């Protein structure tokens, strides 16, 4: 179980609280927000801070301006929608450091909210002083000078060791915001201290992008179902003809090693037992269901078959926790979305029945579950792509590690 410092653990009344949020939201050409999910995710923490008399200073990146000021990447466009959500005027600082920013902070009163300009307008956010990947401690110090307490509320960037995501914690006591708490609590519930048996479902195109994830999961799960294009590599490694399917034949030895390691730790691997094949990669293409040894040389495996879906349902029935990452087939193309939709709906049904904890995230997972109409019934869905995958790989996240370090003294 992740043991971290929580926002509720500190008295924020009258304190300047520097909050890392993720406001890297999609916008149209006119600068209007087209998906406000990330803005809404920050509201509980902001409202908590305001309600407890804090001075709230928000910082975020937006886009990839590469250390240069770009008008299209300004956070100014978010002031109006954020103010509307909070039913309170949000102030804006045209920079995130410097004398003018310090003056703007000094003018704030208890319960005020200030949004700083894009942190990535400065190279020190993502680069060291000599241009290497990382961050400039001097820039991080300029950010931390604005606050007395640091609250990290953006799990989506917790895997990045940057000035605003972890560098400021060198000088400020760090706490998890409410959105971060929710992520960490649910993720711990899924893999660190799960209700067993625990099952994983991992799909996607390539084994090469998920080797570390698979190697970590076999040591934590009771069952691991592998689907999508990556399953083809495992099937080929076991001697099955996968025809013209996407397959990383050079990774067949890696697949066999993963299968052997899983066997050694008693993690049952579930692979497709029947498949849906077609000769064309397009929606509505002529297709058929066949056994693993009936795939023609000019056919592509584009989805798992009905027998596989039934087997997955049986495995879900036998599990109390499910961790889902990736689709089972080419879900963007009808009818090759069938296995993903049916398995997702079945998992959601078990959650509604109170018989399963289902946590999902990473890559195309959110889109696939929304497409299936199952997203709202999952126990928890993380929208953090890279951070979610790195967590599943068992790797430390810099933005989480700073929350676990020994508490340093608050500034006077």
Task: Please answer whether residues 218 and 262 qualify as being in contact, where contact means their C-beta atoms are separated by less than 8 angstroms.
Answer: yes
The CATH architecture of the domain made up of 194-392 is 3-Layer(aba) Sandwich (3.40)
What does the pLDDT read at residue 406?
62
DSSP strand E in 227-318: where?
268-270, 274-278, 287-291, 300-304
111 carries an active-site annotation: no
For residue 75, the SS3 value is helix
Sorted by where each begins, the domain ranges of the chain are 7-182, 194-392
* The model's pTM: 0.87
* Active-site residue (options: 6, 182, 206, 349): 206
User: What are the residues facing 17 on neighbouring strands?
Assistant: 56, 149
- The active-site residue, picked from 16, 38, 50, 160, is 38
pLDDT digits (tens, 9 = 90+) for 69-83: 999 999 999 999 999
Summarised one tens digit per residue, pLDDT across range 330-366 is: 999 999 999 999 999 999 999 999 999 999 998 689 8
Distance of CA 370 to the CA centre of its chain: 15
CATH superfamily, domain at 7-182: Phosphoglycerate kinase, N-terminal domain (3.40.50.1260)
- Catalytic pick from 147, 200, 362, 363? 363
Pairing of strands 357-361, 380-382: parallel
Q: How confident is the model at residue 2 (pLDDT cuts 50, 70, 90)?
A: low
- Per the annotation, the verdict on 63 as an active-site residue is no
Fold identical between 7-182 and 194-392?
yes
Mean pLDDT of 102-131: 96
CA distance 10 to 195: 31
The side-by-side arrangement of strands in the sheet containing 287-291 is 287-291, 274-278, 300-304
Q: What is the pLDDT of residues 176-209, one digit of tens each?
A: 999 999 999 998 888 888 899 999 999 988 899 8
CB atoms within 10 A of CB 4: 21
Q: Pick from 365, 407, 7: which is nearest to 184 by CA?
A: 7
User: Nearest to residue 117, comparing CAs of 161, 70, 155?
Assistant: 70
Question: Is 38 an active-site residue?
Answer: yes
pLDDT, position 408: 47
Report how far apart, in Å, the C-alpha atoms of 55 and of each of 58, 78, 85, 93, 128 are. 10, 19, 18, 14, 30
Q: How does pLDDT run across 254-263, given as a tens digit for each residue?
A: 999 999 999 9
239 is catalytic: no
User: Which pLDDT value is given to residue 181?
Assistant: 95
């Amino acid at each position: 179980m992740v043991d971290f410092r929580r926002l509720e653990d500190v008295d924020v009344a009258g304190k300047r609280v520097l909050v890392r949020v993720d406001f890297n939201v999609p916008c149209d050409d006119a600068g209007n927000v087209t998906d406000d999910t990330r803005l809404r995710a920050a509201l509980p923490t902001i409202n908590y801070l305001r309600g407890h008399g804090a001075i709230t200073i928000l910082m975020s990146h937006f886009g990839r301006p590469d250390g240069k000021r770009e008008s299209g990447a300004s956070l100014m466009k978010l002031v109006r929608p954020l103010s509307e959500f909070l039913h309170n005027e949000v102030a804006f600082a045209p920079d995130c450091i410097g004398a003018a920013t310090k003056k703007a902070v000094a003018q704030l009163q208890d319960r005020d909210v200030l949004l700083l300009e894009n942190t990535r307008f400065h190279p020190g956010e993502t680069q060291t002083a000599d241009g290497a990947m990382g961050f400039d401690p001097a820039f991080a110090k300029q950010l931390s000078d604005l606050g007395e307490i640091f609250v990290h509320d953006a799990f989506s960037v917790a895997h990045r060791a940057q000035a605003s995501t972890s560098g400021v914690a060198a000088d400020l006591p760090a706490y998890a915001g409410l959105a971060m708490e929710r992520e960490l609590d649910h993720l711990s519930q899924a893999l660190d201290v799960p209700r067993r048996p625990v099952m994983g479902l991992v799909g996607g195109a390539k084994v090469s992008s998920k080797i570390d994830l698979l190697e970590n999961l076999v040591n934590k799960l009771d069952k691991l179902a592998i689907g999508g294009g990556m399953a083809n590599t495992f099937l080929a490694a076991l001697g099955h003809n996968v025809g013209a399917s996407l397959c990383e034949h050079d990774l067949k030895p890696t697949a066999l090693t993963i299968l052997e390691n899983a066997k050694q730790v008693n993690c049952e691997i579930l692979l497709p037992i029947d498949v849906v094949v077609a000769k064309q990669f397009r929606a509505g293409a002529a297709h058929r269901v066949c056994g693993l040894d009936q795939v023609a040389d000019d056919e592509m495996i584009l989805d798992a078959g009905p027998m596989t879906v039934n087997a997955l349902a049986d495995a879900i029935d036998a599990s109390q926790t499910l961790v889902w990452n990736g689709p089972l087939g080419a879900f963007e193309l009808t009818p090759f979305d069938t296995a993903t939709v049916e398995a997702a709906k079945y998992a959601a049904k078990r959650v509604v029945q109170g018989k399963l904890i289902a946590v999902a995230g990473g890559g195309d997972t959110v889109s696939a579950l929304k497409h299936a109409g199952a997203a709202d019934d999952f126990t928890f869905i993380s929208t953090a792509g890279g951070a979610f995958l790195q967590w599943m790989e068992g790797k430390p996240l810099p933005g989480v590690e700073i929350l676990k370090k020994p508490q340093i003294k608050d500034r006077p």
